A and B are shown apart, each in its own frame.
Chain A
Amino acid sequence: MKDNQLLESISASVEEMSKDKVVAGVQYALAAGLAPLDIIQQGLAPGMQRMGKRFASGQCFVPEVLLASKALYAGLGLVQPHLSPAAQDTGVRVVLGVVAGDVHDIGKNIVKLMLSTSGFAVVDLGKNVKEHQFIEAIRAHKPQVLAISTLMSPTIQTMKRTIQSVKEAGLAENLTIIVGGAPLNEELARDMGADLYGADADSAVRLLQQRFAVGASA
């Protein structure tokens, strides 16, 4: 099988949500000597991106996205030991979390996965993250990006307060704040002081790639 056919079949296996096929495809690709980074960026990631697009257009739903991400995780787990640490690094650190009052982290986990596969270094604070936890993490990790999400509308206010606290703490300089989640839109994101709004995981990654001029055409 040609390299690009092999990579395409890995993408297709992610889209088919088949963990077994993804694992077999990745093992074959590694044995055939394909570059680990190519396996991620041209095999695994595009499959998940296509899944993200299908979800955004209502052709598939949360269960399919979750299973595809599990298949993707399985593939990543195989590739990761073969990566040289610097190979995929964009040098961009992201602190990521779901705001306090919200424990829905499915979307956040998918964003994390797609950022990691695109070479961003992600510090995941998890769900129900309080303002002071975001602030401490920013001080500790000095990220270039703060990514916050929420699934629910009552916590939009909490998100706004979190962004304000970060700014008041003087931590917003040289920090790109990106927000996402079902109840948000471009306008709300701007009103709450975010720099970017990611309508879905795929667009969040693309926006950050553009912002930092990394990875997009790699």
Chain B
Amino acid sequence: MTPKERVLAALSGKRADGVPAVPMVAGDHAARLCGVPLKRIYQDGATLGQVLVSAYRHYGLDAVIVFSDVAVEAQAIGAQLEFPEDGIPFVVEPSAQLKVPNPWCDGRMPLILEATRTCLDALEDEALVFASIKGPFSLATLISEPEAFFSALLTDPKQIHEKLEFALEVQRRYVDAIATLGEVALFVGDPFATGELIGPDYFEQFALPYCRRLMDHIHGKGLDAVLHICGQTQNLLRLIPRTGAQAFSVDEINLPLAQAELEGEVALMGNVSTQLLRDGTAEQVFSAAWKCLQSTAGNPFILSSACDVPTATPEENVFALVKAARLWGELE
């Protein structure tokens, strides 16, 4: 079985031979690994693609996730970003206007498209390439003043729905562009739609419907999709099957409980602590990964990190995560 078949099996709800290992190695960690200055992956799509392919090969992963930072779409819409000398870019000013960007020429969307193409050129037959995009709720948050946005969930839902419709339209066009590149999948990150910030009621009212419509659009293109939400999502689990995602990637939540809640409905992905990956020993990472594998045994599962693998994670810790998946596969 190729890495691609292994991941596709998990996404279609089947238990493959072995558990795929797809820690969220983003551009920053991959660039560090390859000795490339961080700045370059935010300027050059081919370089971003190359470092991600190198990291995939170096660690022996089962898929590539094309991800640089959360601000790509917000920037294309017109948000002002700051690019620290040796750090990850972030939004400093929300966009003044709401114009749907053209993914082929606005902001760094073209850079991500090029990086995705670079990964596909190198790996299309062998591994699934995920293009990472934001969920509509998080994109709407990123193009707004956060305090005003979160207050308006309660005081001005109509304005929020308008913004969400806009964010959904941005992402549909982005997906259309991504889909022309080849056989890709989507990794939809919705970090602000988290249970600790908005809880299940707001999630159901504002995040879920737009996430669902984005997923429907993705599936309409014949593509697969994973949903990732950061932070506590225990209180959202019962709603996750309705998002339409084939797999749900979880942060540091109780995996056995999540497995019990989602069994037979949505495959899980996760969730080795990012703090442990950065600061722990290889033995500790292996044992944490092993616990993940035990608590999802017999179910479709993708072994991963709880969130993005931190820039400064030691190589041996990523190797330890992958090793756990391989050893588990041999024992099964």
Residues of A within 8 A of B (CB): 17, 58, 60-64, 66-67, 70, 100-106, 109, 128, 153-154, 157-158, 182, 188, 191
Contact = CB atoms under 8 A, between A and B. Distances in A.
Contacts of A17: 154
A101 B150 contact: no
B274 interface: yes
A188 B275 contact: yes
A66 B147 contact: yes
Contacts of A158: 87
Contact of A61 (B92, B146, B199, B307): B199
A62 B197 contact: yes
Contact of A154 (B88, B146, B231): B88
Nearest to B234: A58
Interface in B144-197: 146-147, 150-151, 153-155, 195-197
A16 B154 CA distance: 13
Nearest to B147: A106
A145 B320 CA distance: 41
Given A61-B202, A188-B275, A153 B310 contact: yes
B151 A101 contact: no
A58 B312 contact: no
B146 to A, nearest CB: 6
B106 interface: no
A103 B143 CA distance: 12
A9 to B, nearest CB: 22
Given A67-B154, A101-B88, A128-B82, A154 B311 contact: yes
Contacts of B312: 157
B2 interface: no
A51 B246 CA distance: 37
A66 to B, nearest CB: 5
**Closest 7 A-B residue pairs measured CB to CB?**
A63-B154, A61-B199, A63-B153, A66-B151, A62-B150, A62-B197, A61-B198
A58 B307 CA distance: 22
Contacts, number: 68
Interface of B: 28, 82, 84, 87-88, 90-92, 146-147, 150-151, 153-155, 195-199, 202, 231-232, 235, 274-275, 279, 307-308, 310-312
Nearest to A154: B88
A103 B202 contact: no
Contact of B274 (A63, A153, A191): A153
A58 B90 contact: no
Given A128-B82, A188-B275, A101 B87 contact: yes
Given A128-B92, A154-B310, A104 B146 contact: yes
A70 B155 CA distance: 12
A153 B307 contact: yes
A184 B231 CA distance: 11
Given A109-B147, A128-B82, A63 B196 contact: no
A58 B235 contact: yes
Given A67-B154, A70-B151, 19 more contacts: A61-B196, A61-B198, A61-B199, A61-B202, A62-B150, A62-B198, A63-B150, A63-B153, A63-B154, A64-B154, A101-B88, A103-B90, A103-B91, A106-B150, A128-B82, A128-B90, A153-B308, A154-B28, A154-B308
Contacts of A154: 28, 87-88, 308, 310-311
Given A62-B197, A63-B198, A153-B307, A100 B84 contact: yes
B155 A106 contact: no
Given A64-B154, A191-B279, A58 B84 contact: no
| Chain A CB within 10 A, most for which of B28, B197, B307, B312 | B197
Most buried by B among A62, A104, A105: A62
Contacts of A70: 151
A103 B151 contact: no
Nearest to A104: B146
B9 to A, nearest CB: 31
Contacts of A64: 154
Contacts of B196: 58, 61, 182
8 contacts: A61-B202, A66-B147, A101-B87, A103-B90, A109-B147, A154-B28, A157-B311, A158-B87
A29 B314 CA distance: 60
A161 B310 CA distance: 16
Contacts of B92: 103, 128
A201 B5 CA distance: 48
B253 to A, nearest CB: 13
B183 to A, nearest CB: 31
A31 to B, nearest CB: 29
B150 A66 contact: yes
A62 B279 CA distance: 31
A191 B311 CA distance: 18
B44 to A, nearest CB: 21
B70 to A, nearest CB: 9
Nearest to B194: A182
